[in-house]
Amino acid sequence: MASLSDAAVAGPITRSPGTSASGSPPGRILVVDDSEPNRDLLSRRLRRQGHTVETASNGREALAMLAIGEFDVVLLDVMMPEMNGYQVLETLKCDRALCHIPVIMITAIDEMESIVRCIDMGAEDHLPKPFNSTLLRARLDASLAKKRLHDREQLYARGLERELAIAHNIQQSFLPETLPSIEGYSLAACFRPAREVAGDFYDVFTLAGGRIALIVADVCGKGVGAAVFMAAFRTVLRAITSETYAAQDRTGVANDDETHIGRITAFLSDYIATTHGRTNMFTTLFFAVLDPATARLTYVNAGHDAPIVVRAGSLPTRLGPTGPAVGLLPGFTFGASSIELAPGYTIVAYTDGVVDARDTGGVAFTEERLVALVDASDGPAPAIVSRVEEAVAQHVTGIAQFDDVTVLALQRTPEDRSTAR
């Protein structure tokens, strides 16, 4: 009995434009087989199903086509001269740019050992010879569905990367572009976020009357939520501080730094606790105001890591907490303390990402090591910050940075260095 042709079996085609025979979007298929009759038969069936088809007669030609074109599925014969299907499959799965493309192996119906080997190597499925149209459609549709899911995930990931890049740039704009130049002092800072956006921040800005505000803070948590909270916290703190000192300057009354920064911190804490209490967010904060004329630094340490104070010939000391973290509960008061910076005094404020930084063995950088490093550093503030940053970066070499790293240093110029100028 004469066999019916593929066209006769298929019957008239009445599907809508832009869809395959199964009703799903068509794909771009690469058929790889050294047998021309097999390539021709598969191509005709796939085109009748609505797909775009290209063919390769051997593995090397297929890899060359995959390198320059975009395909949704590869139908790959196992037994081919020059480069067999195993070699092509292995090459594809080792290529980061191509490993996501589903591969359906073309095998003889009794080649179970070969099928198992291909699946172990990463093939999506297999298609036995002789070809069955229903089986071809089912396995191709399953592979196309997987490929389209991957494509959607990649599209979403690229969109998220763009959004995070924008957020990173916005957050960077919250940091000072330049630090104020203060006669008789040196200032330096570094900021290394663990992710695209961070909960750490520092700020240094000039207040009315010539005073300088210095801030280092660490919002609880990591990632986008902490970064959003950080932006709001920094904006409110800077605005209130600037306005408080501007108003004081307009009255002509002498500034009372301890009262100012204590009240500012309490107001900010109450605002966070009452307005954003449901977020369960809080911030540790070192907030200081420097009067360059008197060399007096007045500060609030709201639950923050105690900044280090060093001076040549003296043991390092710390600026310990004067109150709890900001935003925990409403009604907290925040005391303020002050210190007079004699020539050569250096204050280094930092976040816990410095001392908690861990090496490949899980060993932390530690406060003791930081204090010793700062105490042994000889030079102005930029040299000290650079040395700390380099030491932390070297400590975590080989692993991903876990937490944000922020360091801010203020040094009153030593007398001998001041005289030399």
Longest dimension (CA), the chain: 112
- For the segment 221-259, what is each residue's pLDDT rounded down to a tens digit? 777 777 778 888 888 999 999 999 998 877 766 668 999
> Residue 304: what pLDDT?
95
Q: Is the pLDDT reported for residue 378 higher than 80?
A: no
Question: What is the pLDDT, as a whole number, of residue 16?
Answer: 47
SS3 label, residue 214? strand
Least confident stretch, 163-172, 269-278, 301-310, 387-396: 163-172
Q: What is the spatial distance between Cα 409 and Cα 176, in angstroms, rounded to a whole number?
A: 14
User: Per-residue pLDDT tens for 352-366?
Assistant: 989 999 988 889 999
Q: Rounded to 10 degrees, what is the CA torsion of 307, 308, 311, 316? A: 140
pLDDT at 254: 64
Return residue ranges of the chain for CATH 3.60.40.10: 175-420
Please give the Cα distance from 359 to 364 (Å, whole number). 7
Quickly count: other Cβ atoms within 10 Å of residue 402's Cβ.
14
Q: What does the pLDDT read at residue 102? A: 93
- In order of 108, 266, 319, the CA distances from 217 in angstroms are 67, 15, 15
CB neighbours of residue 305 within 10 Å: 24
Describe the strand order of the beta sheet including 346-350 as a list of residue ranges: 185-192, 405-412, 346-350, 308-310, 317-318
Strand partners, 127: 106
Tokens of 182: 């203060």
Dihedrals phi, psi of 105, to nearest 5 degrees: -80, 140
Q: State the Cα–Cα distance between residues 110 and 409, nearest whole angstrom.
A: 74
B/e letters for 47-64, b = 16+ CB within 10 Å, e = fewer, are ebbbbebebbbbbeebbe
CA distance 181 to 383: 16
Q: Which residues contact 81 (CB under 8 A, 6 or more apart)?
A: 34, 58
Question: Is it the case that residue 417 has pLDDT exceeding 60?
Answer: no
CA 319 to chain centre: 32
- The answer to whether 209 and 259 have CB atoms below 8 angstroms apart is no
Residue 126 has pLDDT above 50, yes or no: yes
Question: Per CATH, is 6-162 categorized as 3.40.50.2300?
Answer: yes
Structure-model confidence comparison of residues 242 and 404, the more confident one: 242
CA R_g for the chain: 33
**Residue of 73, 69, 67, 97 whose CA lies nearest to 24:** 73
Burial class (CB in 10 A: 0-12, 13-18, 19+), 4: exposed
Class at the top of the CATH hierarchy for domain 175-420: alpha beta
Residue 244 — φ and ψ, nearest 5°?
-60, -45
| Delimiting residues of CATH 3.40.50.2300 domain(s) in the chain | 6-162
Helices (H), 185-254: 223-251
More confident residue, 20 or 56: 56
Query: What's the confidence (pLDDT) of residue 21?
Result: 53
- Residue 8: which pLDDT band, with cuts at 50, 70 and 90? very low
Q: What value does the mean pLDDT take over residues 50-76? A: 93
For all residues of the chain together, what is the average pLDDT?
Answer: 85
Q: Alpha-carbon distance 73 to 65, whole Å?
A: 13
CA nearest to 214, candidates 187, 190, 235:
187
**Measured between alpha carbons, how far is 333 from 267 in angstroms, rounded to an integer?**
9
Highest average pLDDT, of 214-228, 340-354, 369-383, comes from 340-354
d(CA 30, CA 19): 18
Residue among 187, 170, 166, 169 nearest 178 (CA):
187
Quote the CA–CA distance of 411 and 381 in Å, as a whole number.
6
With a cut of 60, say whether residue 7 has pLDDT above it: no
How far, in Å, CA of 263 to CA of 112, rounded?
78
Say how far apart CA 90 and CA 383 lie, in whole Å.
51
Q: Where are the alpha helices (DSSP H) in 175-283?
A: 223-251, 257-275
Q: Which region among 68-72, 139-143, 170-174, 184-188 has the lowest average model confidence (pLDDT)?
A: 170-174
